Amino acid sequence: MRHWNCLIVCLSLLPAVSAAADAKVDYDKEVAPLLRKYCAGCHNDSDREGEFSLESFAALQQGIKEKPALLPGDPAGSRMWRLISGVDEPVMPPEGEAKPTEAERELVRLWIEQGAKGPAGVEPDRLTLRVPHIESRTKLSPVTALDFSPDGKLLAVARYGRIDLLAAGPGAPQDWKLVRTLGELPGKVESVEFCLNGTQILNASGVAGSGGIATLWNVADGVRVRDFKGHRDLVFDATLSPDGKTVATCSYDKEIMLWNAENGEQIRTLSGHNGAVYDIAFSPDGKVLASASADDTCKLWRVRDGERLDTLGQPQKEQYAIRFSPDGKAVLAAGADNRLRIWELKFGDQPGINPLTVARFAHEAPIATFCFSKDGSRLITAAEDRTIKIWETKNYTELKLLENQPDVVDAVIADPSGERAVIGRLNGSLELLPLPAVKPPAPTAPSEPEAAVAVEMAAPPMTDAKETEPNDQPAQAQKIAVPIRIKGAIDSPAAGSDLDCYRFTAKAGETWVIEINAARSKSDLDSFIEILNTEGKPVERVLLQAVRDSYFTFRGKNSIQADDFRVFNWEEMDVNQFLYCNGEVVKLWRMPRGPDSGFDVFPGSGGRWNYFDTSGLTHAMGEPCYVVEQHPPGTELIPNGLPVFPLYYENDDAARREAGKDSKLFFTAQADGDYVLRIRDVRGGEGAQFAYTATIRTAAPDFTVSLANRKPQINLGNRCEVKFNATRIDQFDGQLMIDAANLPPGMTINTPLTIAPEQIEAFGVLSLSADAADPTPEQLKAIKLTATGKVAGRQVTHDIPAWEEIKVIRMPALELVIRAAAKGAQPLPNDGTSPLEFVIHPGETIMLEVVAERNGFKELIAFGTADCGRNLPHGVYVDNIGLNGLLLPADKSVREFFVTASPWTPEQTRMFHLQSNDKNGPASAPVILHVKPAEKPVASTNAATQ
């Protein structure tokens, strides 16, 4: 009923016509345009609202549900007229839509009365525009697409209604000789490409709202070889498969169509996008087709059967362009969200989740198009902000920025030589661009410059001194010789807040540790320290360039917590990246477990660490934050539309929380000369009670390791978890190895254990045999636990205080075992007495199985949430567990679980286990996990535990 109403309304919208009763109403010129304008939006061959279409006269004659829409010669009996005129309900068009005028309704009535005659002869092609021709005031002919022939001798330039073939040569492209024009194309030519070794050209075009077409041409004579028609709206792209057998087209009608290139017959339609499909691309092997859409996604399709392989859902707005990298290992897309994204094509033509590897904020406006150089070493992007950028493709960093283009660049193509590219603008102009060579990557500032001594530090013995006034200004700075310990106070009889300045000499590369002892000694001083040059200007430490913008969601953060950093667009961030938050810099430690959780930041527990001696701050919900990359001071950065943050040598509270509210700063001199240390109260306070001790000394990196629980409980014949905590001193971040010796008979621990670089804990498993006796105090005292690390190039070993008491429980208890799942990863062969060994590749997920021998334990077994994979390497985690974590229901004794390795995880071997979260819950027997590159074979280590 509703479609009839729409039809009636549409007919009533016909242009007002003052025609005599005997004047013949022309369907083609008077009725059809109105049906398209007012009715075909709902009642067309594609949507068929109300199961009715009036897209063509033939469709109109079909009526609805085998009933006629009109009775020729009888308006009063025609359903169509009765709905338009309001005689029947519901009146069409529906409420809220434009209504036809009386004259328009009369025109429809008269047409029906005259017999509702259709078009004379063949109905006009839907690609023919039936609108008045209005001459344009300007002679601009925008360039909409470009392509070079494989030999580089011809350039195809797509414009409105035609394709110009230019003979490439020296000089500006505007002056290149016109060889041939391929014309008589409907509307804007959206794409053009040379194919079949340059002998033919394929293009896409059409008329918005009416239909689209792809056309194949001979290059040699300009003969039109074949048309590919079927889309119901403008065709945005047409491309030929590498084997030359299949043409793919995409359209505003949301569809992708595959065609037989030899006979033009349609093979299949790929449906699934919820918006216009703007671009498509075949993989170099022709097995996969990628599509970019207005529905904010990209999709991968298998060509041979049309199966959708993956939906790349990270984009935030429409995607306008998509390409495969020349080696076929990655997919790139860009569009209205101003970002360039790269996904690893991990699964080829098989279904799977292809990981996002790079996301760059590339331009300050939507990216219109991009292309690779022939060798794939450079990428050229063009955006609606009238900028062009050239990128190297190893790390996708900018090589060159071209600003202030005369108009938007809508087309770009690199020539086969790889040395230049041609751009086409909407003002119709062409320009030749030389492509810059790929330079070696610029040096980056080390993330922990404080941890390494840059030069040999043969410092004299520590001396003591007292502050002397006046020293408020750098020019008045008290001269000192380092190393030194100074007693002073932020207290001055002069008006205003007191500042204390000290001048010292340092050589380039020397690292000095400057620390304040005030709050720890009950002083009222909340110190703030900074390093100035002799002119009183702050010394720049590092330059941070934002590469991704975000903001805090859900809730804010206090100045200490290290967990649940919920930020917008977290899917495009990764572990080990720096996050800049209003002057504070943290480092991402663990990924969220989903949209209802957040990042953990280093060190993963306790108070969060800050980097570059920034200090912890409170952050509000909605506050901006940025993923940043570091560069040495003075680096000339190519603007990317995001902020750049210079950081200086200054500190409020010690970056790793070891000094409370007192300040601690690691200063590395950039050149030989004098520098000024300035001390003040961060609140501007002063007084005799604002006393401090300032120490300037050489760095003394070191570590200590301790047991988290020195009085564990363990069931006879079972296992319990042991945890080792590392305290890193003066930002020593090297690897630590933990060993055990002299354990009592029947007791073992799976050493050596590793505390990885920058990490502060390791987990092991203490096992007790079924026939073991209770350990005696003498046996416990004989246990030797040690931690070893390399500090400043030398091996350093420290003892770890061992257990004070180990309580043995002699009763049946829950036992846990990790084993291979039937359809999961299989262990490496070993002698049967060693722990099981599994291999995982970076970027891979493997399936294992945990088995519980309950021994009367009837409750739910909880293994933890994000931390349930105990002692897994940094970057490897138990996956797919949700917010409740890894659980084994009370009525189950076996469950599968998944372990995922992040793509960047370094090669290593670790032992890991699962731990029941119940009080004194047992640990599983450890298994060995080898993280290895996919191409490397792995042999069993056949390692035995002590």
Per-residue pLDDT tens for 840-898?
999 899 999 999 999 988 899 999 999 999 999 999 999 988 888 999 999 999 999 99
269: which 2 tokens? 């339609």
Measured CA angle at 74 (ends 73, 75), to 5 deg = 115
Reduce the DSSP state of residue 588 to 3 states and report it.
strand
The pLDDT score that the predictor gives to residue 180 is 95
Question: Measured over all CA atoms, what is the biggest interatomic distance in the chain, rounded to whole angstroms?
Answer: 121
Q: How many CA atoms within 13 Å lie on the side-chain side of 671?
A: 7
d(CA 182, CA 165): 8
Which of 210, 127, 125, 216 shows the shortest CA–CA distance to 163? Answer: 216
Cα–Cα distances (Å) from 881 to 233, 808, 869, 898, 899, in that order, read 44, 33, 11, 9, 10
Query: Which distant-in-sequence residues (6+ apart) come within 8 Å of 20 by Cβ?
Result: none
d(CA 387, CA 412): 12
Domain 455-532+663-698, what fold? Jelly Rolls (2.60.120)
- Structural Rg of the chain based on CA atoms: 37
d(CA 49, CA 39): 10
The pLDDT score that the predictor gives to residue 492 is 84
State phi, psi for 837 to the nearest 5 degrees.
Answer: -125, 130
Cα–Cα distances (Å) from 818 to 202, 286, 356, 846, 924, in that order, read 57, 42, 31, 13, 7
End-to-end CA distance of the chain: 82
Per-residue pLDDT tens for 648-688?
999 999 999 998 899 999 999 999 999 999 999 999 999 99
User: Tokens 């896409």 sit at which residue?
Assistant: 204
Measured CA angle at 794 (ends 911, 606), to 5 deg = 50
Cα–Cα distances (Å) from 555 to 603, 683, 865, in that order, read 21, 27, 21
Cross-sheet strand order for the sheet of 409-414:
409-414, 420-425, 430-434
Q: Do domains 455-532+663-698 and 815-931 have the same CATH topology?
A: no
Query: Which distant-in-sequence residues (6+ apart) come within 8 Å of 589 by Cβ?
Result: 562, 575, 599, 600, 601, 602, 603, 604, 874
Per the CB < 8 A criterion, the answer to whether 33 and 130 are in contact is yes
Write out the DSSP string of 804-856.
Answer: S--EEE-S---EEEEEE-TTS--PPP--SSSPPEEEE-TT-EEEEEEEEE-TT
894: which 2 tokens? 């076996």
Write out the DSSP string of 654-665.
Answer: -TTSTTTTS-EE
Q: Where are the beta strands (DSSP E) in 395-483?
A: 397-402, 409-414, 420-425, 430-434, 463-466, 478-479
The pLDDT score that the predictor gives to residue 14 is 42
Cα–Cα distances (Å) from 803 to 707, 709, 799, in that order, read 8, 8, 13
Q: Which amino acid is at 626?
A: Y
Region of residue 569 (left: phi > 0; alpha: psi -120 to 50; beta: else): left
The pLDDT score that the predictor gives to residue 62 is 73
Reduce the DSSP state of residue 212 to 3 states and report it.
strand
d(CA 357, CA 371): 19
Write out the DSSP string of 695-744.
Answer: EEEE---EEEEEES-SS-EEETT-EEEEEEEEEEETT----EEEEEE-PP
Question: 702-809 domain in CATH 2.60.40.10?
Answer: yes
Q: Are strands 837-840 and 927-931 parallel, antiparallel or unpaired?
A: parallel
To the nearest 10 degrees (0 to 180), the angle between helices 102-113 and 2-12 is 100
Q: How many CA atoms within 13 Å lie on the side-chain side of 691?
A: 8
731: which 2 tokens? 């930002």
Q: What would the 3-class secondary structure string for 478-504 be?
A: EECCCCEEEEEECCCCCCCCCCEEEEE
What global pTM score does this model have?
0.80
Find out whether the peptide bond into 483 is cis, omega within 30 degrees of 0: yes
462: which 2 tokens? 């520590």
Reduce the DSSP state of residue 443 to 3 states and report it.
coil
Question: Which secondary structure element, helix H or strand E, spans residue 61, and what is its range?
Answer: helix 57-62
d(CA 830, CA 250): 54
Residue ranges of domains in the chain: 2-113, 370-375+384-437, 455-532+663-698, 540-643, 702-809, 815-931
Chain centroid offset of residue 451 CA: 30
Low-confidence ranges of the chain (pLDDT < 50): 1-20, 447-454, 938-946
Find out whether the peptide bond into 643 is cis, omega within 30 degrees of 0: no
The pLDDT score that the predictor gives to residue 209 is 82
- Per CATH, the number for 815-931 is 2.60.40
The pLDDT score that the predictor gives to residue 903 is 86
